[in-house]
Amino acid sequence: MPVERSRPMFIKKVNNTRVWPVTLKIIVTFGLFILISNFSSNYINFIFNRSQLFELMNQLLGKDLKNMYAYCNDQYEIFQYDKNREGSIESIVKRGMHELKNGKAVVLGVAPDGTMLFQASRPGLPKAGEFTDAASLGKMSEKLTRGRDEGTLYFRFNGEDYYGMYKYNPRWGAFIVRAEELNEFYADSRTNFQIISVVIIVMTIIIGGIGVLILRYLLRYIEIITRSIMRMVKNQQLEYIDLEGATNDDITYMGTAFNSLSGTVDNLIAIFRKFANQDVVHKAYRDRVVKLEGTRRELTVLFSDIKSFTFITETLGNDIIKLLNLHYDRAIREIVALDGVIGSIIGDALLAVFGVLEDSTVNKSYQAVRAAYRLQEVTKTLRLKMSGIRDELVLKNGRLSADEEKIYRAVLLEIGVGIDGGEVFYGTLGSYVRMTNTVIGDNVNAASRMEGLTRVYRVPVICSEYVKNDIETGVENHGIHFIEIDTVMVKGKTTGQKIYWPVPEEEYDELLSKQLSAFELGLELYYRGEWPEARRKFRSCELPVAGVFRERTQDRPPEGWNGIWQMTTK
């Protein structure tokens, strides 16, 4: 079997828990370490370069300031000679602009009171009438009073942060300041830092991608094992993990150990599934525990019973188990296929519940009626099979013996099915030593009573008015004809209840429709107490159910007849 190839990494979610692939964790962890390491190195280099730039800036500013200071003295001498103050200042500004290279660099002449003697700057930089950074001006003035006429200075000018060097010129009575705008001065170093950072990220991504490929190959069986286990979790079915081609390492050993455990657990789960309903299995799997609890729910209950079971048991003896298993194997499969769960199996009786499964989207009563006719089809198929065996024996031996004939009659199973629904208690009863899933309620008993009525009214399936209304209001084009057959008060009840014979569309032919017309007319007269007229209508109907009413209407209606027939037996 070929080795399952790994798929791209992604984060899975199991039972609201995120599952992170190991390969992704390793790549992310090492990727972060690589980024942090490279960015740290780059940042240290950036800071180191900045310190060097700062030293260089101090040297350049000191040189420029020295030149400007000397030039200012020269211009002062010229001013003393020609008395042209504006001309000398203009010359100082031109010389200062000649010294500047950056767009926001300045040479300033600032009087101690903040008045601007001159401002040399590139075109486009606003001219300031006075030096507005009072704090910085105060520091220069304070140092001057202590005999220090020069130094370095951080200050605000035209809304920007500057760093510069100054020296007080007593001839002009002003501080000569040579400064650079900080953001502009460090722009090249920041750009270099950004470019290097992008290169680091790109290289990390490329190296990380290569690392993903290498790690995924080395750890490919972790992903295979993980994906297989997640598939088992989703399907709620254990299976063996394909480890063909795996190397002898801890990962392979882990997979082998899981396969060994899987075989044991899968066998136990298979046994558990056979003894528990699908909803119980899902709940146990989801909650990791099955509690003694239950709730009131609106469900539909199906009850089927094998007719003449006493005769069958006496005739077949221990072989009754084989016959029942032959019947129930197919019957239960049909019920489960229609989203039903088995409430109980007691010898000849089977109780099924519909509407329990949370993922079922089909109307519960509709599924129950369909299941009822599938059960009838199961018994019909079994009878045909037994008839075929009988024909082979007759063909071989000429005839059956008396015992063989009796056995043949015993294996011709026939069942009745009753269906009712409504609010019932559904849950788990017993103890934590031994518990069982069950359904309790009046509607459960009613379904059993209706199954008993199939023997009285000689129809295969009887359902309640609840089932009829549930299907007619909840299912479009349901294809089921509900034939009202009587209003009865079963033993143990104080009120009457309408009962119906649900007939699938495929069995509702023209002949049945004609027979039912006569039956419905007779039933209407029967309800009104006009039994002689009703009997004549029932005599014109050949359906087996009409025979019940022909016998019943031979006499006059009981005293105080209200249309409800009271059953005296269960």
Tens-place pLDDT, residues 292-308? 566 788 999 999 999 98
Least confident of 69-73, 214-218, 458-462, 558-562: 214-218
What are the tokens at 207?
A: 């190296």
Instruction: Pick the last residue of a domain from 189, 214, 234.
Output: 189
Is residue 315 situated within a structural domain?
yes
**Greater pLDDT, 453 or 267:** 453
Domain identity same for 408 and 539:
no
Decide: helix, strand or coil at residue 115.
strand
Maximum average pLDDT range among 195-199, 204-208, 243-247, 345-349: 345-349
How many structural domains does the chain have?
Answer: 3
Domain identity same for 445 and 569:
no
Residue 322 CA to residue 304 CA, distance in Å, equals 19
Q: What is the pLDDT of residues 388-399, one digit of tens each?
A: 988 888 888 888
Q: Is the pLDDT of residue 375 over 90?
A: yes
Is residue 244 situated within a structural domain?
no
C-alpha 565, offset from chain centre = 53
The per-residue pLDDT for 367 is: 96
Extract long-range pairs of 382-386: CB within 8 Å, 24+ residues apart.
382/326, 382/327, 382/330, 382/411, 382/413, 383/412, 383/413, 383/414, 386/411, 386/412
Q: What is the pLDDT of residues 458-469, one digit of tens each?
A: 999 999 999 999
Share of the chain above pLDDT 70, in %: 84
The per-residue pLDDT for 20 is: 64
The per-residue pLDDT for 286 is: 58
Domain identity same for 391 and 450:
yes
The per-residue pLDDT for 7 is: 47
**Greater pLDDT, 412 or 359:** 412
Residue 193 pLDDT class (50, 70, 90 cuts): confident
Residue type (1 letter), 120 = A
Domain identity same for 450 and 564:
no
Q: What is the pLDDT of residues 315-344, one digit of tens each?
A: 988 888 999 999 999 999 999 999 999 888
Is residue 275 situated within a structural domain?
no
Q: Is the pLDDT of residue 12 over 90?
A: no
Instruction: Pick the last residue of a domain from 189, 209, 228.
Output: 189
Q: What is the mean pLDDT of residues 52-79?
A: 85
What are the tokens at 450?
A: 């209706």
**Residue 83: strand pairing partners:** none
Domain identity same for 451 and 529:
no
Instruction: Pick the last residue of a domain from 167, 189, 211.
Output: 189
Domain identity same for 461 and 508:
no
Domain identity same for 50 and 124:
yes
The per-residue pLDDT for 547 is: 92
**Residue 500: strand pairing partners:** 463, 484
Q: Is the pLDDT of residue 541 over 70?
A: yes
| Cβ atoms within 10 Å, residue 322 | 11
Domain identity same for 520 and 454:
no
Q: Is the pLDDT of residue 400 over 50?
A: yes
Q: What is the pLDDT of residues 22-43, one digit of tens each?
A: 666 676 777 677 777 766 776 6
Domain identity same for 120 and 182:
yes
**Residue 135: strand pairing partners:** none
Domain identity same for 519 and 372:
no
Is residue 48 situated within a structural domain?
yes
Which residues, at least 6 apart from 554, have a Cβ–Cβ distance to it below 8 Å? 535
Q: What is the pLDDT of residues 556-570, one digit of tens each?
A: 898 889 988 887 766
Q: What is the pLDDT of residues 239-269, one digit of tens each?
A: 777 777 777 777 777 777 777 777 776 666 6
| CATH code of the domain covering residue 172 | 3.30.450.20
The per-residue pLDDT for 8 is: 45
Q: What is the mean pLDDT of residues 214-224?
A: 71
Percentage helix, strand, coil, to 5, in the chain? 55, 20, 25
- List strand residue ranges (DSSP E) for 355-440, in order: 415-430, 435-440
**Greater pLDDT, 567 or 474:** 474
Domain identity same for 302 and 442:
yes
Q: What is the mean pLDDT of residues 82-86?
A: 89
Q: Is the pLDDT of residue 46 over 70?
A: no
Q: Count helices and strands (H / E) in the chain.
A: 17, 16
Is residue 240 situated within a structural domain?
no
Residue 21 pLDDT class (50, 70, 90 cuts): low
Angle ∠(26,30,34) on CA atoms, nearest 5 = 165
Is residue 12 situated within a structural domain?
no
| CATH code of the domain covering residue 378 | 3.30.70.1230
Domain identity same for 441 and 508:
no
The per-residue pLDDT for 175 is: 93
DSSP string, 10-63: --EEETTEEE--HHHHHHHHHHHHHHHHHHHHHHHHHHHHHHHHHHHHHHHHHH
Residue 195 pLDDT class (50, 70, 90 cuts): confident
Q: What is the pLDDT of residues 515-531, one digit of tens each?
A: 999 999 999 999 999 99
The per-residue pLDDT for 377 is: 95
What are the tokens at 181?
A: 């705008």
Is residue 105 situated within a structural domain?
yes
Q: Is the pLDDT of residue 9 over 60?
A: no
| Residue keyed to tokens 């003035």 | 141
The per-residue pLDDT for 438 is: 77
The per-residue pLDDT for 537 is: 93
**Greater pLDDT, 211 or 462:** 462
Domain containing 319 equals 296-475
Residue 434 pLDDT class (50, 70, 90 cuts): low
Is residue 428 situated within a structural domain?
yes
Residue 310 CA to residue 55 CA, distance in Å, equals 112
